[in-house]
Chains A and B, each alone.
Chain A
Amino acid sequence: MKDQPHLTLPRGGVSRRAFLKGSGATAAAAAAISGTTAVEAAESRATFVAAETVSIELRVNGAMHKVTVEPRTTLLDVLRYRLDLTGAKPVSIDASSGASTVLIDGKPASANVVLALDCRGKHIQTAESLGGKDPDPVVKAFIKHDAMQCGFCTPGFVVAVRAFLDQHPNATKEQILNGLNGNLCRCGTYANVIMAALDAAKGGK
């Protein structure tokens, strides 16, 4: 029997709401800007977060994209509103739902708690990159085992499983039960996700 059947949810070290509010956000934004030459010092706008924009390049799913962002703009906002890549979903204010999971340099991260500015020079992969005409084995396994219902959590779950199996290519059921608790599903697809993850672990790349 497992010793700790009940996981403790990560109380996101960075709550986006707290992050974007008040002076903390101004300080954080300033910290994010420092080190870039493209940005002049922000005008003092007293109570509100500086809205000065920065032009950056992001590498998403293999392609370079030039986007203009505010210091506070999250990676999720860029993906969803600028690049129309909406597979990563906004579900929680912090990293507790896993719905916005993407890969940054191959490692899973919640795109809603990552600043776009911090993604310069990194390789971002979204769920969309796992689809297409020859889908990733994890996507195939999700379809085969019907590991989806409404589907809103599914892309995040798919990316999380992909990342987990990259780290544990021969994952056992026990490892899957302990290692994939960061993604929340309301329709109750967990039983199917477990089957899909096990199948992809056996037959995956």
Chain B
Amino acid sequence: MPVEYRWPEQGKTAVVGHEQDRIDGLAKASGTAKYSYDINTKQMLIARMLGCPHAHCRIKSIDVSPALQVAGVVTAKPMKEAGAEIQWPGEPLAVVAAETEAAASEGAAAVQVEYELLDVYVDDTDRQAAEAAGRTAKGGQSIELEREPGEDEDEAEFEEREIQRLLDEAAKEGVVVEADYGIHAITHMCLEPHGSTCEWLGDKLTAHLSTQNVSGTAGQFAGPLGITADDVTVHCDFIGGGFGSKFSPDAWGVVCAQLARETGRGVKLMLTREQELKIAGARPSGFIHVRVGANKDGVVTVWDSHHWGTGGPDSGSIRPAVVPYVFAPPNRRAVHTVIKTNTGPFRAWRAPDHPQACALSQTAYDDIAWKLKMDSYEVFRRNLHTTRLPDVYAAEMEIAARLIGWKEKYHLHGQGPAEGSVVTGLGMALHTWGGAAHDSTCLLRIHPDGGVETSLGSQDIGTGTRTVIAMVVAETLGLPVNAVKVNIGNSKYPPSGPSGGSTTVGGVAESNRRAAQDALVQIFDLVAKKLNVSAEKLVAAKGRIHVSGKPDQGLSWKEACSLLGMKPLEVRGSYSRRENQPSKLSSETVGGVQMAEVAVDKRTGVVQMRKFVAVQDMGLIINPKTARSQVYGAVIMGIAYALFEERIIDRTTGEFLNCEIADYRLPRLGDIGEIVVELYQPESEYNRGVVGLGEPPVISPGAAISNAVANALGVRVPVLPLTPQRVLEAIKRSNV
């Protein structure tokens, strides 16, 4: 009889859904967890790269020989040839391996390079200027109109006329907001920089790589090294942050392996902090000009926008398909222009495109409330029918409003009471994300002595992957969590997907639940035979396999496993989205609602977080403890880009000015205010199975906090982050 893969009914689980401490919590908290940066091999060399000091130049010559004169330096090699054009600052030019970190740094600084400086272009805020400088490209558009052009009508002309007609109508009957908004580029700022420690045993490479992609990076090493993926082991037990930037070994990973091969020694090459910020990933900026029309009830009838921004030398801002964000009014047009700049290329940043799209469009929705003198909550609520999840949002909005005290505290924009120069305000935003499970395979092994281990080429980017896997297997086999050993972080284990797009918990839950259910069928058969009962009547609970309802009529887990004989039972659990959907274990698409309460000092321009409420659905929750942490963390990362962090580039030289920790402003423990997290899991959500959570809650904070600041001041501070300077400038412009 084929096994039906599903979860126990809600409320009938022993492990899943219960608060569980991380199984690797002690290792992480007491510093024994080994990250790639922490792997020390015998006789190891440390490598450092020389980064290009210029944003745009051509390499005239490069000479690594002075580096070899530095005491402690063992080898040096160029990474670029004479004639190469460099398009962004920090691009690696040469690499030096030495006995110590200090000697390697000194060696890299000794490399002699001659540069021919080229024109630098970095302004991503001014579209007209970029067009005039020939630095733009079309970025596509997304358009939807209720009416269609007549047969002989020119489509473009019709679109233009129709949008204008709708805007005129809105201006007459309701309201039109015409405004500009923006959000600056930020970096990933992984605290463990990108890099690896590489060592060879004969012609086989082991790369201790800091990666979100354990199962997908062996081949990326192999190709450039002239070997095949079977000769590569990628190992990563712990990764110190990735956020979408660590899917590949990168050029510096390959060069690290080359140095190790050439010197016959282990080599560690981690980026410096400065390099990490300059070259290892950024989130594209976005700036928008919007015209949005709504009827007198606040229901949006037409959206027309043009946005631009930069993702580095080759790419632009966000996809027009996500503008406006979450809301899809019946008539809408979003046009995108790419601005090419001499800045570090973008990489996927937690929920790619969504946080910017949310900040660029739900601010405009809030300004409709402001102009109509309506409650923002009402305007958001009245437009829910244009979202894909109206019921989820409506329910979550009610919960969030109750938790933040919206009814009691809300006032119209700029009309709240002031305490000296301090005013307070509320704002909200909505978000969505897919979060479907990635493909995953695991090998579950049950030993005759009762030992249980599962192995898969997954990774823990901070979500608590090990813990979630152990919980799923323990739940299925009726065991305590500590009875399950979890082996992840090695590319020789069965392949599991990269941790991107909030796909990991769903993926590893799928493969492990399937494997454990299959294994249990085989154990049940053995026990049934032994006890002379029907296997269908057996259950696994509290460390025993017994007849349902009769705990005495059964065997302990250990006794049951002894029936396996000499060999362990091995079961492969496999999930593929193409073959196994629909699945009762996982699904996709979530919605979340967030509300912010801020205090703004009109004298200093300082915004202080008072309270932040995040209500989030994620289908079935495996570990509420780590799930809540994901939401807390996402909200704090959101507070970071809403109020503090931005990549600051010198307009003339293209230099990245704040590429050290002390200069790149991020919130600290005292900056975050009170955060309330509500995991939304009614039975309807639980029954959908697991859906990814990591990304969605990082999307709304920008818009929610911007809206709260606008509500407090009665003035829109249009560009994020809302630094004191921008707040004061906005106040000055509006004369409040």
Q: Is A143 an interface residue (CB 8 A)?
A: yes
Contacts of A194 in B (CB 8 A): 669
Question: Across the interface, which residues of B come within 8 angstroms of A72, CB to CB?
Answer: 102
Whether B636 lies near A190 (C-beta < 8 A) is yes
Contacts of B630 in A (CB 8 A): 149
Please give, as numbers and ranges, the residues of chain B lying within 8 Å of A192 by CB-CB distance.
629, 632
Distance of A152 Cα from B24 Cα, bound (Å): 13
Q: Is the CB of A143 within 8 A of B662?
A: no
**Is A193 on the interface with B (CB-CB < 8 A)?**
yes
State which residues 153-169 of B face A: CB under 8 Å.
none
Cβ 8 A contact of A9, one of B238, B463, B608, B662: B662
Residues of A within 8 A of B670 (CB): 2, 5, 7, 177-178, 180-181
Question: Contact at B30–A128, with CB atoms within 8 Å?
Answer: yes
Question: Which residue of the partner chain A has the closest CB to B674?
Answer: A191
Q: Are B608's CB and A86's CB within 8 A? A: no
Q: A51-B103, A89-B37 are in contact. Are A191 and B26 (CB under 8 A)?
A: no
A191 near B675 (CB under 8 angstroms)? yes
Interface residue from A21, A73, A85, A143 paired with B29 (Cβ < 8 Å) = A143
In the complex, chain A residues whose CB is within 8 Å of the CB of B633? 149, 187-189
- Known A6-B606, A49-B102, A190-B672: A150·B240 in contact at CB below 8 Å: yes
- Asked, given contacts A51-B71, A126-B31, A148-B25, whether A99 binds B102 with beta carbons under 8 Å apart, the answer is no
B634 sits at the interface (CB 8 A) = yes
* Shortest distance between the CB of A134 and any CB in chain B (Å): 11
Establish whether residues A158 and B30, one from each chain, have CB atoms under 8 Å apart when the complex forms.
yes
Please tell me which one of the listed residues A70, A81, A87 contacts residue B30 in the complex, with CB atoms under 8 A apart. Answer: A87
Contacts of B667 in A (CB 8 A): 190
Complex CA distance for A17 and B519, rounded to whole angstroms: 56
Q: How far does the Cβ of A110 sit from chain B's closest Cβ, in whole Å?
A: 11
CA distance A193 to B675 in the complex (A): 13
Q: From B28, B30, B189, B606, name the one whose CB has the most chain A CB atoms within 10 angstroms.
A: B30
Q: Which residue of A is nearest B107, CB measured?
A: A48
Chain A residues closer than 8 Å to B671, beta-carbon distance: 5-7
Check B191 against A188 for contact (C-beta < 8 Å).
Answer: no
Closest A residue, CB atoms, query B669: A190
Taken residue by residue from 167 to 205, chain A's Cβ proximity to chain B (1 for < 8 Å, 0 otherwise) reads as 000000000111011111111111111100000000000
Interface residues of A in 14-34 (CB under 8 A from B): 20-21
Complex interface residues of chain B between 402 and 432 (CB less than 8 A to chain A): 422
Does residue A135 face the partner (Cβ distance < 8 Å to B)? yes
- Check B636–A81 contact: CB distance below 8 A: no
Q: Which single residue of chain B is at the shortest CB-CB distance from A149?
A: B462
Contact B241 A184 (CB under 8 A): no
Complex contacts, B241 vs chain A, CB 8 Å: 150, 152, 186-187
Chain A 86-97 against B: per-residue CB contact (8 Å), 1 yes, 0 no? 111111111011
Say if the beta carbon of A130 comes within 8 Å of chain B: yes
Q: Which of B33, B422, B464 has the most CB of A within 10 A?
A: B33
The CA of A96 and the CA of B661, in the complex, are separated in Å by 6
Instruction: State whether the Cβ of B296 lies closer than 8 Å to any Cβ in chain A.
Output: no
- Min Cβ gap A98→B in Å is 9
CA distance A5 to B29 in the complex (A): 28
Chain B contacts for A51, CB-based, 8 A: 71-72, 103
Does any Cβ of A come within 8 Å of B637's Cβ? yes
Asked if A108 is at the interface (CB within 8 A of a chain B CB), the reply is: no
Give bound CA distance, A115 to B252, whole Å. 29
- As a 0/1 sequence over residues 14 to 25 of chain B, the CB contacts with chain A under 8 angstroms (1 = contact) are 000000011011
Interface: A80 (CB within 8 A): yes
- Taken together as a complex, chains A and B put the C-alpha atoms of A194 and B674 apart, in Å, by 11
A185 to B71 Cα, complex, angstroms = 36
Residue of B nearest to A156 (CB): B31
Please tell me if the beta carbons of A139 and B29 are within 8 angstroms of each other in the complex. Answer: yes
| Least distance between B35 CB and chain A CB atoms (Å) | 6
- In the assembled complex, which residues on chain A have CB atoms less than 8 Å from the CB atom of B239? 150
Known contacts A5-B670, A187-B241; A155 and B25 CB within 8 A of each other: no
The verdict on B681 contacting chain A, using a C-beta distance below 8 Å, is no
- Whether A127 pairs with B31 at a CB distance below 8 angstroms is yes
Contact B100 A77 (CB under 8 A): yes
Answer yes or no: B688 CB below 8 A from chain A CBs: no
Given A131-B26, A152-B241, also A186-B190 (CB < 8 A): yes
Q: Is B80 in contact with chain A by the CB < 8 A criterion?
A: no
Which residues from chain B contact A6 at a C-beta distance below 8 Å? 606, 671
B70 within 8 A of partner (CB): yes
Contact A92 B273 (CB under 8 A): yes
Tell whether A183 pairs with B31 under 8 Å between CB atoms, given A51-B72, A189-B633.
no
Q: Is the CB of B191 within 8 A of A152?
A: yes
A85 to B239, CA, bound (A): 17
CB neighbours of A158 from chain B (8 A)? 29-31
Most buried by B among A5, A21, A77, A152: A152
Chain A residues with Cβ below 8 Å from B666 are: 184, 186
Please determine whether A151 and B660 come into contact, CB atoms closer than 8 angstroms. no
Contacts of B70 in A (CB 8 A): 48
| Given contact pairs A143-B22, A152-B35, A177-B669, A189 touches B30 in the complex (Cβ within 8 A) | no
Is B21 in contact with A155, judged by CB distance below 8 angstroms? no
Of the candidates B191, B632, B637, the one whose C-beta lies within 8 Å of that of A153 is B191
Chain B, residue nearest A193 (CB): B669
**Would you give the 0/1 interface string for B255-291, flagging 1 where the beta carbon is closer than 8 Å to chain A?**
0000000000000000011100000000000000000
Q: Which chain A residues border B510 with CB–CB below 8 Å?
A: none
Chain B residues whose CB sits within 8 angstroms of the CB of A70 once the complex forms: 100, 102
Verify B106–A186 contact, CB threshold 8 A. Answer: no
Indicate which residue in B28, B606, B625 contacts A151 across the interface (CB closer than 8 Å): B28
Tell me how far the C-beta of B101 lies from the nearest C-beta in chain A, rounded to whole angstroms: 6
Asked if B32 is at the interface (CB within 8 A of a chain A CB), the reply is: yes
**Interface presence of B192 (CB below 8 A):** yes
Residue of A21, A48, A80, A146 most packed against chain B (CB within 10 A): A146
Cβ-based interface call for B547 (8 A): no
Q: In the complex the two chains form, is B273's CB within 8 Å of A93's CB?
A: yes
Is B28 touching A154 in the complex (CB atoms < 8 A)? Answer: yes
A132 sits at the interface (CB 8 A): yes
Closest to A49 in B: B106
Q: How far is the CB of A159 from chain B (nearest CB, A)?
A: 9
Which residues of A, 41-91, contact B by the 8 Å Cβ criterion? 45, 48-49, 51, 70, 72-73, 77, 80-81, 84-91
Which residues of chain A come closer than 8 Å to B634, judged between CB atoms? 188
Given A70-B100, A96-B662: A186 and B637 within 8 A (CB)?
A: yes
B214 at the binding interface (Cβ < 8 Å): no
A62 to chain B, nearest CB (A): 15
B71 x A45 contact (CB < 8 A): yes
Residues in B615-658 with C-beta less than 8 Å from chain A? 625-626, 628-630, 632-637, 640
A127 to B26, CA, bound (A): 11
For residue B552, CB closer than 8 A to chain A, the reply is no
Of all A-B residue pairs in the complex, the 7 with the closest CB atoms, nearest first, are A87-B31, A131-B30, A188-B636, A152-B240, A188-B633, A149-B462, A151-B28
Q: List 22 A-B contacts (CB under 8 A).
A: A20-B106, A48-B106, A81-B40, A87-B30, A89-B35, A91-B273, A93-B661, A99-B191, A128-B32, A131-B27, A135-B29, A139-B29, A147-B29, A150-B191, A151-B24, A177-B669, A178-B670, A181-B669, A186-B189, A186-B243, A189-B632, A191-B675
Contacts A143-B21, A150-B238 supplied; 12 other A-B pairs, CB < 8 Å: A1-B608, A5-B670, A48-B106, A77-B101, A90-B37, A91-B191, A94-B660, A144-B21, A146-B25, A146-B464, A149-B633, A189-B632
